[in-house]
Amino acid sequence: MDSISPVSRGWRLCMVASCISCIIPIFFLKHSHDSVNLSILGSTDIASTISINESDANSHDSVNLSILGTQLNEEYKCNIFDGKWVYDPKGSPMYKGAQCPFLSDQVSCQRNGRSDFIYEKWSWEAKGCKIPRFDATDMLERLRGKRVIIVGDSLNRNQWESLACLLYSALPPSQTLVDVKSGTYKVFTAKAYNFSVEFYWSPFLMQQNVNQDNGARILRLDRVATSAMKWIGADIMLFNTGHWWDLFQYEGKTVENMDIESAFDMAMNTWARWVDQNVDATKTRVFFRSISPEHKGKHWCYNKTQPIEDDSYETTFPGKIIKVVERTMQRMKTPVTYLNITKLSQHRKDAHPAVYATKKWKQLLALQNRKPETYADCSHWCLPGLPDTWNRLLYVSLVLDTSKVILSS
């Protein structure tokens, strides 16, 4: 019998090892779960899981979602709220203001005489991943048979007008109903899709009364707004608050000059209890939008046509208020998605109405030159404009199926 040389024996062992090394990865790949975990990080972390299967891929071909560098079962970090503004004259804006006759004067900057258009042509680009653009057709399908409510102050009304216009401009007017007569309740309905997007004006999310003696607002920090009974049963809820706090009432006692942070904390706890007691998390998605920044002082919005390019720029909104919101969501049993638009909005000093928030802009323009801090609206936003990006990120959150907010340490 011929003997096997040490070299031949080593060669055969190498071949066997190579075969085994090929078989093992194939085995594990075959039995791995078809999912991608996407962790969105920022001042809060939003843990997301995207399930991938053949039926999902075929049903949403219109959505161009490309998470760069992601493989199955690979942890990948993509913060959709962190990125940069890119000039995109071909892709922006997503509609024309004239397509939505129901837009209020406050946001209709072009109709009110603003002559520049560059502020409409910026697109948000997230770092490290490509997020889908707002797809009105896909959004209409996702909302079919559903009810969306947007509750909060005039900045949430700004977002409601944007979302209503994004969807309205994609449909024949005969297939829609829009009621904007009330200052406290507005609704857009898509008849063919059997869904509605409603706005409830509630700037504090709490019950408001008026002091009969001096006319001052009184907030009941232990009671949610009276309209809350109408919120129940919505499929998607989007809330905001944080502006305009001045006089409070808690447990039946009026408290003047109360610490803002303490009062806000009480209100947020009251809101959180209502959500936990009245929302079925298996049927309803809850969102909370972060504070929309103003632009005053050094970065005053008047006569500005370009975004702020200084990455270190931050507005003066109190960080303590933001921390209260984050702490509250962390304690809730109901999953809440944090629509964290503050930082990306800080750089858009060019996107405010300024004097173009009214048809009387010529008179304001003259006054503006003498006293700009009084007459320029540097709080709200032109449409088309920045709130369209807020709704794009709302859409992205629905596409990615983000759910539980987990605060970073």
- Active-site option among 45, 265, 350, 377: 377
- Active-site option among 92, 123, 154, 162: 154
What is the secondary structure of 251-278 as a DSSP string? TTEEETT--HHHHHHHHHHHHHHHHHHH
Beta-strand pair 248-250/253-255: antiparallel
Compute CA 264 distance to the chain's CA centroid, rounded to the nearest angstrom: 21
H helices of 332-371, in order, are 342-346, 361-370
Quote the CA–CA distance of 157 and 202 in Å, as a whole number.
10
Question: What is the dihedral sign for C-alpha 404, 407, 408, 409?
Answer: negative
**How crowded is residue 253: how many other Cβ atoms within 10 Å of its Cβ?**
7
For the question of residue 154 being annotated catalytic, the response is yes
Helix axes 154-168, 386-400, angle to 10 degrees: 70
For the question of residue 377 being annotated catalytic, the response is yes
- Active-site option among 43, 162, 380, 388: 380
Closest C-alpha to 80, from 52, 56, 44? 44
Please name the residues in contact with 3: beta carbons below 8 A apart, sequence gap of 6 or more: none
- Would you state the structure tokens that stand for residue 261, as one six-digit string? 């942070």
Quote the CA–CA distance of 72 and 37 in Å, as a whole number.
8
For the question of residue 60 being annotated catalytic, the response is no
**How crowded is residue 100: how many other Cβ atoms within 10 Å of its Cβ?**
23
Active site residues: 154, 377, 380
